[in-house]
Structure 1
Amino acid sequence: MIWEPITSEELSLEILKGEKEMNPENFQFWNEIKFKPTKWTEHEFGDEGGGFWAVAKYKSFVLYYNDIEEGFNISKFEKEGKILNYGAEQDELQFAVMKLRKLN
């Protein structure tokens, strides 16, 4: 089977699924940090798919969907649009948001 990058429509479904599973505190936090999904570059593994879909920012961290591993990941960023660290977590959105809330 040939790998295909996730479409924005498929990503929207993943986000909706995660939002339905969030508790009220995490949902409020999510609504404060989320933005319209945008492709950010990541040069270790992300070039083939044109980058990964970034969906939220908190402090110096970006929350993005790794469609190779099929899960949400967190990375530091120094410049908007560039993911610094590849992550291979397979987290659903609600779990990644909980992890992000705990970062300082």
Structure 2
Amino acid sequence: MTEWKPISLSELYNQIQKTEADLNGELWNFWQLIKTEPTKWTEKDYGDEGGGFWVVAICGTKVIWYNDIEDGFNISDYKIYGQIEGYYCNQDELSWAVTRLFDLVKFGGDVIGQAGPPQNLT
């Protein structure tokens, strides 16, 4: 069994660039407003092993971040800059997370389609 290791910044940039090539119209404009230089943020439950998770976008009190344990993007709240408030284990493409957050901003409501923390950790 191979040992888990966090995603490298260059691998993360590759995923971001693939998504940027596919976004257009309102989603492209929205992404341009919310994207940020990837920065490692802490997450109290599962983020210690990899030194935190890469946050790639900030919108109000929400962040889009990459969960390299589950290999997917998630949306979480934050109250303190640099600290992700909720752990999620979605295996979403970045474009899906951008679309969900855009819909939340445009139509209001909760973030739909979020998976919770893993139920069976040993």
Q: Same fold (TM over 0.5)?
A: yes
Find the aligned partners of 1:87 and 1:32 in 2 and give their Cα distance: 23
Q: What is the RMSD of the two structures over their aligned residues, measured on CA atoms?
A: 0.9
Higher relative contact order (CA 8 A, sep 6+): 1
Alignment of 1:13-52 (within 5 A): 13-52=14-53
Give 4+ residue runs of structure 1 displaced > 2 Å after superposition.
none
Q: Distance in 2 between matches of 1:95 and 1:47?
A: 26
Aligned residues: 104
Task: Structure 2 unaligned segments of length 5 or more: list them.
Answer: 109-122
**Based on CA coordinates, which of the two structures has the bigger radius of gyration?**
2
Partner residue in 1 for 2:115: none
Q: Deviations over 1:36-74 (max 9, x none)?
A: 000000011110000000011111101100011111100
TM (normalized to structure 2)?
0.82
Matched position secondary structure for 2:76? strand
The 5 A counterparts of 1:1-104 are 1-103=2-104, 104=108
Identity %: 50
Which structure has more helix as a fraction of its residues? Answer: 1
